[in-house]
Structure 1
Amino acid sequence: MDETALLIFTLCLQAAIGSMIFITLGKQLYKDKQFKVSALISACLSVVGVLASFVHLGQPFSALNSLSNLGSSWLSKEALLAGIFMGITVLYAWVQYYRPESQGLNTVLRWAGSVLGLVTIFSMVKVYTMASVPVWDGTNTFVDFYATAIALGALIFLVSSFKELNEANQRLFPFIVLATVVIQVAAAVPYAFSLGLNGMAAQASAEVLSEMGVVIALKWLLILGGAGLLLWPAIQKAGATGAKSASGIIYVAAAILLIGEIIGRYVFYASMITSHIGLT
């Protein structure tokens, strides 16, 4: 598969967007917390994602060309929105570390990043659903991209801010992750089966997915297993799991779930069979 740069771009940017959303939610719950580590991770992921998109374009100046058709091209809109989102996350992280007293600017950047992030994911989805690739052309891509952002965002926020959260919210965020990945499964499985009922390209995609059955099974095993393991400290009785033990389990669960999401995005690109023109 030669879409590694796109895999990095989509996963990193969606994770950064999800992280920013949960930082915004966290600030609503904890007025006195900064969540600096989460902000820094969001900024770094957005930078890595945008740089990966440059690699995919072949040369940095091609990025400027990708902005030349904003009126009719979702690819141009995606490039512009991703760049603006990256700028907001970097500025927000800088403000968190060096101007934490600027509460007004903090709030504006946080909410702007969250709202723009959701719009950016929409533009990413439109790029793929309009690409004449049957396996991408459906509501499953919407669900998958948004669910990935929410699951990874909640995961990043939980891991990076675990000690800043009270016990109730330490239990809440694992349930959010699990609920989100269950929605992913509920959307993906019936959609995969429905491909065989459509045209030749869709049937070919279904055949590719069938041949990758073991990989897909591993993907869901890791994603659901990681989300389930994430719940373990949350369902224990108070005091039954020490802080160090709980954080260790969360780190392991996060790694397992992340590997599953990476495999899932690999499958997303590996199943690409176009009906006539391909990605534009």
Structure 2
Amino acid sequence: MDETALLIFTLCLQAAIGSMIFITLGKQLYKDKQFKVAALISAGLSVAGVLASFVHLGQPFSALNSLSNLGSSWLSKEALLAGIFMGIAVLYAFVQYYRPESQGLNTVLRWAGCAVGLVTVFSMAKVYTMASVPAWDGMNTFVDFYTTAIALGALIFLVSGFKELNEANHRLLPFIVLVAVVIQAAVAVPYAFSLGQNGMAAQESAKALSDMGVVIALKWLLILGGAGLLLWPAIEKSGTTGSKSAAGMIYVAAAILLIGEIIGRYVFYASMITSHIGLT
């Protein structure tokens, strides 16, 4: 598979967008908290994602060419929106570290980042559903991209802000992650089975997914297992909030879930079997 750059682009950008969403929600609950680390991670991931998209295009000037058809091309819209979100995320992180007293600017940047980010995820999904790839064509791609953004965003916010968050948040955020990945699985699994009932290309996609059965099983084991493991410290209620044991468990669970999401995105690209034309 030669879509590594796209894997990095989609995962990093969706995680960055999810992080911005949870930073915004967190600031609504805690006016006195800064969540600077989460802001820095969101900015870093957005930059990494956009740079990966440049690598996929082959040369920097190709990025400008990708903006030449904004009126009718979702690929052009995706490129523009990704760049705008990256700019907002980087500026927000800069303001957080060097002008934290600029509350009005902070608020505008946060909400603008959320709005642009949500539309960016939509445009990313549209790029793939408009392609002639049966495994991508449907609501499953939208659900996968949005739930990935939510799950990874909540995960990053929890890990980066563990000491700033209270015990209630230590329980709520893992629950949000679990709900997101359960929805992801509930939509993806039936959709994969339904492919075999459609045309020849869809049946070939179903066969390709079947051939990757062990990898897909590992993906869901890691994603669902990691999400479930996130809840363990809250369920056990052992130790005090912010204890090293609870934090350690969360870091391990986060790593497991992240590996599962990476495998899942690999499967997404590996299932690319076109009906007549490729990705445009």
For 1:164 and 1:138, locate their aligned partners in 2 and report how far apart those are by CA, in whole Å.
39
Matches within 5 A, 1:1-280: 1-237=1-237, 239=239, 243-280=243-280
Normalised TM-score (structure 2):
0.99
Cα 1:128–1:29 change in 2 (3 A) is same
For 1:112 and 1:126, locate their aligned partners in 2 and report how far apart those are by CA, in whole Å.
21
- Residues 205-234 of structure 1: CA deviation (Å, up to 9, x unaligned): 000000000000000000001001100111
Cα 1:48–1:206 change in 2 (3 A) is same
Identical amino acids, percent of aligned pairs: 89
For 2:255 and 2:237, locate their aligned partners in 1 and report how far apart those are by CA, in whole Å.
24
For 1:162 and 1:234, locate their aligned partners in 2 and report how far apart those are by CA, in whole Å.
13
Structure 1 residue 240: Cα displacement: 6.6
Indicate if the aligned counterparts of 2:181 and 2:223 stay in contact, CA closer than 8 A. yes
Normalised TM-score (structure 1):
0.99
SS at match of 1:61: helix
Structure 1 residue 71: Cα displacement: 0.3
**Which amino acid in structure 1 is aligned with residue 237 of structure 2?**
K
Structure 1 residue 239: Cα displacement: 3.3
Indicate if the aligned counterparts of 1:233 and 1:241 stay in contact, CA closer than 8 A. no
For 2:196 and 2:252, locate their aligned partners in 1 and report how far apart those are by CA, in whole Å.
37
For 2:21 and 2:53, locate their aligned partners in 1 and report how far apart those are by CA, in whole Å.
22
Structure 1 residue 94: Cα displacement: 0.1
RMSD across aligned C-alpha pairs, in angstroms?
Answer: 0.9
- Residues 21-30 or 241-250, more deviating: 241-250
Count of residues paired in the alignment: 280
- Unpaired stretches in structure 2, ≥5 consecutive residues: none
4+ residue segments displaced more than 2 Å? 237-242
